[in-house]
Amino acid sequence: MSATKFSRGQSHVTFSLTPTSRTFYGARSRQQSPRLSRNSALPSFHHFSLFPMNRLPFRELIQGQDYWIQDQALPNALEIAQRCIAKTTWTLGSPWRPEPWPGMRAPEALTPEEVLTVETYVTTHLGIPHLTPQTDSEAGFSGHNHIQLCGGAEGVARPHVDSARICDYAAVLYLHPSPPTSHCGTSFYRLHLPGEPPDGNYCPKNFESLSEVPGLPREMDPTMFQEILEAPYVFNRLVAYKSDLIHSATGYFGWDHALASKRMAAVFFWKAES
């Protein structure tokens, strides 16, 4: 692949964290399960529910505890973007190979000094004493400090959690200087199965993935989730979060033939040491 250079257009540097317009963030009382009235014909000495108990736990998302957003994260972000887009060797994900991640990846997105800056933001603002980068495992190679490109036809929002066995925290650094829309950043979700009230938004630590949780289907459809919070895509924005939260890229953009047109982000995964 020939090297492609970015030219930065209009700057996107303002901080914006917007609750989705499709749901009420932080308003659980507005989505209570239906209750039986006192005049119900059912015996009053039993407690009945029209719906099963929550399959997943829920917690309100708190900045500085569950996630952190850092704008203007690196002083040389444009240089990093140009360096990454010039890479010539990429590993393909879906739709070309049966991988859980879409698009294409390449290692060593950031230098060790640049990674240290990212990790300092995470440890400082999320109160973590020390981070250990994800390494290659039997399940496959590590995605830590990889640059990921994904076009609009190559991926869709896919709510998921990251494996508790290999990481406790994850982060993305947005590196496209002029995204066509800001609604292609990172979204957080809660389970919302058809015909049931909203459910939980994170995976218990004793399960590797949502598909292992009792009562949940093996194959999870994106329509089974409800977006509760969006961190919009802004150039040089770092979004760090606990990896047990249900999350996904909000969307993708760009075309096959132009690498520089695609959504670009550096991805990071860590285990936390107490």
Confidence at residue 111, expressed as pLDDT on a 0 to 100 scale: 98
Confidence at residue 218, expressed as pLDDT on a 0 to 100 scale: 81
Q: List the chain residues with pLDDT less than 70.
A: 1-53, 136-142, 274
Is the preceding peptide bond at 95 cis, omega within 30 degrees of 0? yes
Contact, 245 vs 202, CB < 8 A?
yes
Confidence at residue 52, expressed as pLDDT on a 0 to 100 scale: 57
Burial group, residue 161, by CB count within 10 angstroms (0-12, 13-18, 19+)? buried
Q: Three-class SS of residue 188?
A: strand
Confidence at residue 18, expressed as pLDDT on a 0 to 100 scale: 42
Confidence at residue 45, expressed as pLDDT on a 0 to 100 scale: 33
Tokens standing for 144?
A: 């830590």
Q: For the chain, which domains are there?
A: 65-273 (2.60.120)
Confidence at residue 29, expressed as pLDDT on a 0 to 100 scale: 32
Q: Please tell me the distance from the alpha carbon of residue 128 to that of residue 136, in angstroms, as a whole number.
A: 23
Confidence at residue 136, expressed as pLDDT on a 0 to 100 scale: 60
Burial group, residue 53, by CB count within 10 angstroms (0-12, 13-18, 19+)? exposed
Owner of token pair 């996630």: 67
Q: Please tell me the distance from the alpha carbon of residue 203 to that of residue 218, in angstroms, as a whole number.
A: 14
